[in-house]
Amino acid sequence: MTQSATLRVDGLVASPRSFSFDDLRAFSEPEQVRDFTRFHPKRPGDGVTLRAILDRVAPAAEATYLTLHATRDDFAASIPLAAIVDEAVVVFELDGTPYPESKGGPFRFLIKNPAVCHTDELDDCANVKFVDRIELTAGRGRDNRPHDEQEHEALHQHG
């Protein structure tokens, strides 16, 4: 399953497409982000910049939000595009193999310097695991991140 997994990027873009592990691996060296532990010591893995992915789909001028969907557990976060474009990495690899599901793979969205949970649009809760679709929208899209400590607690009990 992991081998054929793809990340779909669609919505308000000129060229919607899906990326496989091999597609992301083929990005140029300056587009690769080697070893995410330099941003967060507890988050190992290698990825590509969000900007490198967006460059390949050509977002429309009307696109103002980026919505991250995880079908696996029906989680979504929607973030202002301008704020996130140079702050995020799509991690897809660990030690030369597909990013493990135990860490949120096969694709995990990671923000370089996230705010504490539910204190900002770019918070730790937006580090979406199992992300399989990135949708560009005009205005905020689907977002079911927890709003407070109680919701947060309930979410983490499930998994």
Ligand X SMILES: Nc1nc2c(c(=O)[nH]1)N[C@H]1C(S)=C(S)[C@@H](COP(=O)(O)O)O[C@H]1N2
Q: Note whether 125 binds Mo ion by CB under 5 A.
A: yes
Residue 90 structure tokens: 């799509």
Residue 70 binds which of Mo ion, ligand X, none (CB < 5-8 A, kind-dependent): ligand X
What mask, x for binding ligand X by CB under 6 A, covers residues 98 to 137? -------------------x------xx-xxxx-------
Letter for the amino acid at 159?
A: G
- Closest by CA to 44, choosing from 110, 114, 122, is 110
Out of 70, 84, 88, 90, which residue is the one contacting ligand X (CB under 6 A)? 70
Taking only Cα atoms into account, the Rg of the chain, rounded to an integer number of angstroms, comes to 15
Q: Note whether 33 binds Mo ion by CB under 5 A.
A: no
Out of 75, 92, 99, 107, which residue is the one contacting ligand X (CB under 6 A)? 75
CB of 36 to ligand X, least distance (A): 11
CB of 27 to ligand X, least distance (A): 23
With contacts defined by CB under 6 A, how many residues of the chain interact with ligand X? 12
Q: 71 in helix, strand or coil? A: helix
Out of 48, 54, 79, 117, which residue is the one contacting Mo ion (CB under 5 A)? 117
Distances (CA, A) of 87 to 24, 39, 122, 138, 152: 18, 11, 9, 20, 24
The residues near 94 (Cβ < 8 Å, ≥ 6 apart) are 44, 45, 46, 100, 103, 105
Residue 10 binds which of ligand X, Mo ion, none (CB < 5-8 A, kind-dependent): none
Which residues are near Mo ion by CB under 5 A?
117, 124-125
